[in-house]
Amino acid sequence: MNVPIINKYKAYPPMKIKKRVWPSKLIEKTPIWCSVDLRDGNQALVNPMTVVKKKAMFEVLVELGFNEIEVGFPSASLMENEFLRQLIDQNLIPDDVTVQILCQARRSLIEKSFSSFSGARRVIFHLYNSTSTLQRQVVFNKSKKEVIELAVKGVLDIKELSGNNPETEVILQYSPESFTGTEMPFALEICESVIKAWDPKPQEKVILNLPATVEMSTPNVYADQIEWFISHLNNKDQAIISIHPHNDRGTAVAAAELALMAGAERVEGTLFGNGERTGNVDIITMAMNLLTQGIDPDLKINDINRLIKIYEDTTEMKVHPRHPYAGELVFTAFSGSHQDAISKGLAEMKEKGAGLWEVPYLPLDPGDIGRKYEKVIRINSQSGKGGFAFVLERDFGLRLPRGMRPEFGEVFQRYLDSVKREVAPEEIYQCFKKEYLLSREPFELLDFREYTEENTGGESPKVQVRATLRVKGKRQKIQSSGSGPIDAFVKGLSQSGLADFRLIHYEEHTLEEGSDSKAVAFIGIGLEENKAVFGAGEDSHIAIASAKAVVSALNRYHG
């Protein structure tokens, strides 16, 4: 029978909590992080990591600052057993790092696990069995009582073998697998049975890991489940509440953050969210989120590019270009309005000096994670004047006057529309150079000399200019005086009948420091009412650069 697609699914039932408190809470401290890259992440790879790659990943996790690292499922894999033995036998586990192993609630596998970590100083023994309604009925065909007995038997086996291995401190972690698909009263019952069976010593705690093995609901429901569980748990002081969200609905980070607000203390996840199906909760994103809220994430994430390279080398996975914080394009703006806002924000931050980070569209200072500003703004056909102006100043030292930007914007937009792709900074400069610095028709400045006239009558001395131009192929000489070289040059052009215009705008600045530095001048001229045209000129002599800018503007007007 064909069932309409919409009738194949039903809404996940909400929790009935009259006075939930988590929505008013804030995350005020960093959770205990546990990386599961070497187990959960590894088992989701097309090509699982070799022992060499696992070692490289382990080393980077230690370097990042993880104090708890799940290293594998040694009772089920010869390679993972070999890797764990190498860590222990070669003394590669720092004193402040606790390795974690995963094991099903079966005596034979528990015994193999103890053999695999023999000689270790401290181990988190992660025991699990599935508790969900669906798996109890469909996969295992077991009653609630049988499922509890299985978990308790596993705990008692671990307790017995721990007594036989006093050189290793064993910390119990229990996961009711598919916690979010389990009736909450039953999840509570089995976890309390586990704590009772383990019978923690004073100051000892059992880690209760409550996984969203499959993300089945909106994040607020997961938070409700965590809050309900904690509020009903006996002997809370004997437990650490851990979460392990998966990302089937694409909301694992949100679910984890809300669960922390609901009282969870520990988060299991992976770098960049690698894991089965759509992945695990992304610890890097969570850590960055904490950082942007003024909370130290206790992870060394100040060189994200190096971390990405190691991750991609070991997992053969790629970090998506739009991945939060880490993606190649996340600190990039193509939109013109965004570019303009970023440019102004960065300029104001520079002017104010160190202080609170406040730049539009950039929630995090790229420099804090090893990125550089040169990649903040990139240009394509969606960009605007703020973007190309920022790049011209950043890469080539050209500070275009604000009035000039719309004019060049139209020129540059035509180029962008023709190429229909992202353009490199050099292309922007070449487009500017072609439009403003290389024009030779109808005017070309061949020679320019200035002289200061003798002071007569106590007035300010005049400046005399003698210049040679080629106008439509013919050489023309002009000579005139003025209050300055540009005033004299403009008057000479008018008196000779070559060009008659008003000087509307003038700016100049040096391009480089030092005796050989060049100067650039920007000139705006008016030839008709309400008609302004800009030109630019470069030269080691500012007066010649200014004269070239006048000629550039004339050529652009007549062109």
pLDDT tops 50 at residue 227: yes
The pLDDT of residue 376: 59
The pLDDT of residue 544: 95
In 122-204, beta strands by DSSP E = 122-130, 169-177
- Shortest CA distance to 488 belongs to which of 449, 529, 534? 449
How is residue 78 written in tokens? 């010869």
The pLDDT of residue 421: 87
30-82, pLDDT tens digit by residue?
A: 999 999 999 999 999 999 999 999 999 999 999 999 999 999 999 988 999 99
Mean pLDDT along residues 487-499 = 92
Mean pLDDT along residues 489-505 = 91
Residue 428: which pLDDT band, with cuts at 50, 70 and 90? Answer: very high
pLDDT tops 50 at residue 515: no
Beta-carbon contacts of 145 under 8 Å, excluding residues fewer than 6 positions away, are none
Beta-carbon contacts of 243 under 8 Å, excluding residues fewer than 6 positions away, are 209, 210, 211, 212, 226, 255, 256, 259, 260, 264, 266, 267, 268, 281
Backbone angles phi and psi of 445, in degrees to 5: -85, 120
Distance of CA 558 to the CA centre of its chain: 48
Cα–Cα–Cα angle for 550, 555, 557, nearest 5°? 95
Please tell me the distance from the alpha carbon of residue 72 to that of residue 101, in angstroms, as a whole number: 5
How is residue 389 written in tokens? 């102006």
Query: By three-state DSSP, how is residue 307 classified?
Result: helix
446-486, pLDDT tens digit by residue?
A: 999 999 877 655 567 789 999 999 999 999 999 999 989 99
Residue 198: which pLDDT band, with cuts at 50, 70 and 90? Answer: very high
The pLDDT of residue 349: 86
Q: Across the chain, what does the average pLDDT equal?
A: 91
Q: Give one DSSP letter per residue of 430-477, joined into a string.
A: HHHIIIIIS--SSEEEEEEEEEEPPP-TTSPPPEEEEEEEEETTEEEE
Distance of CA 350 to the CA centre of its chain: 22
Backbone angles phi and psi of 71, in degrees to 5: -95, -10
Query: Are the beta carbons of 454 and 461 closer than 8 angstroms?
Result: yes
pLDDT tops 60 at residue 373: no
Beta-carbon contacts of 60 under 8 Å, excluding residues fewer than 6 positions away, are 307, 310, 311
The pLDDT of residue 1: 59
How is residue 453 written in tokens? 């006239």
Is 35 exposed, middle or buried (CB count within 10 Å of its CB: 0-12, 13-18, 19+)? buried
Residues in a beta bridge with 33: 267
The pLDDT of residue 219: 98
| Most confidently modeled range among 131-135, 302-306, 335-339, 525-529 | 302-306
Query: By three-state DSSP, how is residue 530 classified?
Result: coil
Dihedral angle of Cα 43, 45, 48, 54, to the nearest 10 degrees: -80
Please tell me the distance from the alpha carbon of residue 300 to that of residue 65, in angstroms, as a whole number: 6
87-123, pLDDT tens digit by residue?
A: 999 999 999 999 999 999 999 999 999 999 999 999 9
Cα 222 to Cα 14, 34, 247, 251, 367, distances in angstroms:
9, 19, 13, 11, 35
Distance of CA 332 to the CA centre of its chain: 10
Please tell me the distance from the alpha carbon of residue 241 to that of residue 231, in angstroms, as a whole number: 12
The pLDDT of residue 527: 73
Please tell me the distance from the alpha carbon of residue 185 to that of residue 228, in angstroms, as a whole number: 10
Domains and CATH numbers, the chain: 30-315 (3.20.20.70), 336-434 (no CATH), 443-558 (3.30.160.270)
Quote the percentage of the chain above a pLDDT of 90.
74
The pLDDT of residue 455: 64
